[in-house]
Amino acid sequence: MCGIVAYIGDRKAYPILVKGLHRLEYRGYDSAGVAMLNGNLNVYKCKGKVSDLEKFIGDGTTDGTIGIGHTRWATHGVPNDVNAHPHYSESKNLVIIHNGIIENYAAIKAELKKRGHTFLSDTDTEVLIHLIEEIQKNDSLKLGEAVRQALNQVVGAYAIVVMSKSNPDELVAAKKGSPMVIGIGKGEFFIASDATPIVEYTKNVVYLEDEEIAFIPRNGELKIKTIKNRPKTPSVQALELNLEAIEKGGYDHFMLKEIYEQPRSIKDSMRGRLNAEKGIVNLGGIAEYEQKFLNAKRIIFIACGTSWHAGLVGEYLFEDLTRIPVEVEYASEFRYRNPIIYEDDVVIAISQSGETADTLAAIELAKSKGATIVGICNVVGSSIARATHAGSYTHAGPEIGVASTKAFTAQVTVLTLMALRIAQRKGTISSTRFHQLLSELESIPAKIEKVLKLNEQIKTIASKYKDSSNALYLGRGFTFPVALEGALKLKEISYIHAEGYPAAEMKHGPIALIDEEMPVFVIATKGGSYEKVVSNIQEVKARKGKIIAIVSEGDEHVKEMADYTIEIPETDEILVPLVSVVPLQLLSYHVAVMRGCNVDQPRNLAKSVTVE
Ligand code: M6R
């Protein structure tokens, strides 16, 4: 979603802003802009990519040691040059960049219009900067105070930075619901939506909390207060992020790099938590809350998209291993349907970014009903991580590609560890099975290494189906969520319509779609439902569908029926999602590249969905 970057200090702001905007591109956006202050207040903005903005600026004036930059993901108003940020105030003395949605903007706009304001764009953001300026002028206030008072009038979510032509020595930033981090250098400050634009300049950061406003001087001390005017002491934290982790490292795309990182990222998810030799699973982040799990009558997973698919794997894992009933909820549905939540429910919120607005709102709802909230997040210090009672980070490292890959396997790894730990504590797993699963889990990274070696074969298969209009993905039991995830990966980056189904469900509708044009990707690994899935494959073949089967190594039976088979190392049924999803990720990647799609930043999508 929208990306914010701003700078104040002694250096030239423009190169820092542009580099920062490139770093934030992964979040997804459709237009970009910058404003620099150097006596004049110059705003440049246009529809398209940051590189389009650079071309557009050309030889334009980019002087100034204070500036703000933005990538916009359209909500109010189509993506075009005018709606791009920054936005001027009525007098053009102030500029603003904004991430989030001002829900009551229409009412404020109507009032401002009555008082003579004219608006150039269709955005809610422009309304906010007009309001700030009006408050400032009416009461002759300092900029920060005017921002504070304006924010008390708005309903919605925001991360904003405001810059004033009359005050070249201060930026004012504030946030509610959308993330914002302030990097503290020597006599300089960097402000951004996440740490990626900041990491090479400083490791000292302050994460702004909801309803906090920051007064950021050119030379001097960072001051923070709440929008209710209560002073706060900035809590400076050390950034745990390195530059290599957010660069492509020789890969053509971040997505490919992240697929290949999985043996490492899964090891990182398990590091210090799993010791198969000693038979230990321990998740420090939930240790104090284990009793809540042991007492829980129910576990509810809340998440969106790929993280929801991980939650579905979690359902199979927890029910199988811990015998606690599980529900898996789309956060967006859960929060709006008056759900029944008990105080002894454990709600597990899963999110890569830790910023997904619907998941965050669902957490607040469950919390207000007294449930225990456990987070599984990738981004350290993210809003969801901070909103939960306890949790375990996935430690997958930054995921830049919009299509989630290593985050999914890391989430499933943490869920497996969690389910094993609770099962052991509850006594719902035998010692033999527990030890067997621990060593099998430890061997998963090596098994994924083997799958990655199949890349060329998978690329060849991709070339056969790259021109398909539709695709069906089938799985059963633990591989049903993998089928959903495989379909999501294909549709989101290649724009081929794809659907995932439980294999047996096919004959209740989707079978009507099958003809000689339809590729059907089936996860048919060895396990409880193997024979049933083989029958489903035969049903597809009987209707001339094309079968691409993910099978366990050495499976000759399915090979005879399938058009193509991808053989993956055998593992315990409950761990198959971790291994079987990898060929599907690679397949989608190659199809998308062959179709000339923007793999890392698919159209219309955002990495971190901070609006509901
Ligand atoms: O950051 P989150 O995990 O909360 O994001 C939820 C979804 O937006 C996300 O999983 C999305 O579906 C994936 N990027 C798709 O690959």
DSSP 420-481: HHHHHHHT-S-HHHHHHHHHHHHTHHHHHHHHHTTHHHHHHHHHHHTT-SEEEEEE-GGGHH
Ligand 1 pocket mutation pick from 328, 356, 406 by most atoms within 8 angstroms of CB: 356
| Gap between the Cα atoms of 301 and 326, Å rounded | 8
Peptide bond into 86 cis (omega under 30): yes
Kindly state if the Cβ of 608 falls inside 6 Å of ligand 1: yes
The lowest-confidence range among 107-111, 136-140, 326-330, 605-609 is 605-609
The lowest-confidence range among 54-68, 184-198, 230-244 is 230-244
Whether the predicted pLDDT of 219 surpasses 90: no
Whether the predicted pLDDT of 10 surpasses 80: yes
pLDDT at res. 507 = 85
| Gap between the Cα atoms of 163 and 84, Å rounded | 16
Burial 70-84 (b: 16+ CB within 10 A, else e): bbbbbbbbeebebbb
> What tokens does 571 get?
């593992």
CA distances from residue 477 to 43, 468, 529 in whole angstroms, order as listed = 55, 27, 7
Helix, strand, coil percentages, rounded to 5, for the chain: 40, 25, 35
For ligand 1, the distance from its centroid to the CA atom of residue 565, given in whole angstroms, is: 29
| Gap between the Cα atoms of 598 and 582, Å rounded | 20
Kindly state if the Cβ of 306 falls inside 6 Å of ligand 1: yes
For ligand 1, the distance from its centroid to the CA atom of residue 349, given in whole angstroms, is: 12
Alpha helices in 225-375 (DSSP H): 254-260, 262-270, 290-295, 305-322, 331-334, 357-368
Q: Are strands 298-303 and 326-330 parallel, antiparallel or unpaired?
A: parallel
Burial of 230 (0-12, 13-18, 19+ CB in 10 A): exposed
Residue among 457, 494, 476, 463 at smallest CA distance from 582: 457
For ligand 1, the distance from its centroid to the CA atom of residue 200, given in whole angstroms, is: 26
| Gap between the Cα atoms of 99 and 92, Å rounded | 20
Per-residue pLDDT of 198-214, as tens digits, reads 999 999 999 999 999 99
Residue for token digits 């659907």?
499
Backbone angles phi, psi at 460, to 5 degrees: -65, -45
Per-residue pLDDT of 102-147, as tens digits, reads 999 999 999 999 999 999 999 999 999 999 999 999 888 999 999 9
- Please tell me what DSSP assigns to residue 582: H
| Gap between the Cα atoms of 126 and 104, Å rounded | 13
Ligand 1 pocket mutation pick from 1, 353, 589 by most atoms within 8 angstroms of CB: 353
Report helix, strand or coil for 134.
helix
In this prediction, residues 383-391 reach a mean pLDDT of 94
Whether the predicted pLDDT of 149 surpasses 90: yes
Whether the predicted pLDDT of 77 surpasses 90: no
| Gap between the Cα atoms of 277 and 599, Å rounded | 40
| Gap between the Cα atoms of 155 and 148, Å rounded | 13
Sequence-distant (6+) residues with CB within 8 A of 193 are 2, 3, 4, 5, 24, 27, 99, 159, 178, 179, 180, 181
> What tokens does 307 get?
């993280």
Whether the predicted pLDDT of 291 surpasses 80: yes
Q: Are strands 326-330 and 87-88 parallel, antiparallel or unpaired?
A: unpaired
Kindly state if the Cβ of 359 falls inside 6 Å of ligand 1: yes
pTM of the entire predicted model: 0.83
Residue among 119, 434, 448 at smallest CA distance from 260: 448
In this prediction, residues 452-475 reach a mean pLDDT of 96
Q: Are strands 326-330 and 546-552 parallel, antiparallel or unpaired?
A: unpaired
Per-residue pLDDT of 398-452, as tens digits, reads 999 999 999 999 999 999 999 999 999 999 999 999 999 999 999 999 999 999 9
Nearest CA to ligand 1 atom 4: 351
Whether the predicted pLDDT of 608 surpasses 80: no
pLDDT at res. 352 = 96
For ligand 1, the distance from its centroid to the CA atom of residue 178, given in whole angstroms, is: 16
| Encoded amino acid at 137, one letter | K
Whether the predicted pLDDT of 592 surpasses 90: yes
Per-residue pLDDT of 27-62, as tens digits, reads 878 899 999 999 999 999 999 999 999 999 998 889
All domains of the chain in start order, with CATH:
3-245 (3.60.20.10), 268-451 (3.40.50.10490), 454-600 (3.40.50.10490)
| pLDDT tier for residue 242 given thresholds of 50, 70 and 90 | confident
Whether the predicted pLDDT of 610 surpasses 80: no
Kindly state if the Cβ of 124 falls inside 6 Å of ligand 1: no
Ligand 1 pocket mutation pick from 259, 307, 491, 600 by most atoms within 8 angstroms of CB: 307
Whether the predicted pLDDT of 600 surpasses 80: yes
Kindly state if the Cβ of 356 falls inside 6 Å of ligand 1: yes
Burial of 39 (0-12, 13-18, 19+ CB in 10 A): exposed
Residue for token digits 């709600």?
347
The Cα diameter of the chain in Å comes to: 81
- Please tell me what DSSP assigns to residue 86: P
Kindly state if the Cβ of 585 falls inside 6 Å of ligand 1: no
Active site residue 607: yes
Burial 584-598 (b: 16+ CB within 10 A, else e): bbbbbbbbbbeeebe
Which residue in the list 2, 304, 377, 597 is annotated as catalytic?
2
pLDDT at res. 453 = 97
Whether the predicted pLDDT of 470 surpasses 90: yes
pLDDT at res. 402 = 93
| Gap between the Cα atoms of 422 and 374, Å rounded | 13
pLDDT at res. 500 = 96
Which residue in the list 47, 257, 489, 607 is annotated as catalytic?
607
Kindly state if the Cβ of 403 falls inside 6 Å of ligand 1: yes
Sequence-distant (6+) residues with CB within 8 A of 490 are 471, 473, 496, 498, 584, 587, 588, 591
Kindly state if the Cβ of 601 falls inside 6 Å of ligand 1: no
Backbone angles phi, psi at 319, to 5 degrees: -65, -40
Backbone angles phi, psi at 571, to 5 degrees: -150, 175
Nearest CA to ligand 1 atom 8: 305
In this prediction, residues 447-474 reach a mean pLDDT of 97
| Encoded amino acid at 63, one letter | D
CA distances from residue 58 to 54, 61, 62, 72 in whole angstroms, order as listed = 6, 9, 10, 21
Kindly state if the Cβ of 482 falls inside 6 Å of ligand 1: no
Give the rounded percent of residues in the chain with a pLDDT score beyond 90: 86
For ligand 1, the distance from its centroid to the CA atom of residue 361, given in whole angstroms, is: 16
Nearest CA to ligand 1 atom 16: 403
| pLDDT tier for residue 347 given thresholds of 50, 70 and 90 | very high
Whether the predicted pLDDT of 177 surpasses 90: no
Strand ordering across the sheet containing 167-176:
87-88, 94-102, 156-164, 167-176, 212-217, 223-226, 231-232
Sequence-distant (6+) residues with CB within 8 A of 169 are 8, 66, 217, 218, 219
Q: What is the DSSP string of 25-56?
A: GGG--SEEEEEEEESEEEEEEEES-HHHHHHH
Kindly state if the Cβ of 609 falls inside 6 Å of ligand 1: yes
Radius of gyration of the chain (CA): 25
For ligand 1, the distance from its centroid to the CA atom of residue 164, given in whole angstroms, is: 36
Burial of 191 (0-12, 13-18, 19+ CB in 10 A): buried
Strand ordering across the sheet containing 345-351:
326-330, 298-303, 345-351, 372-377, 390-393
pLDDT at res. 556 = 92
Q: Mean pLDDT score of the chain, rounded to an integer?
A: 94
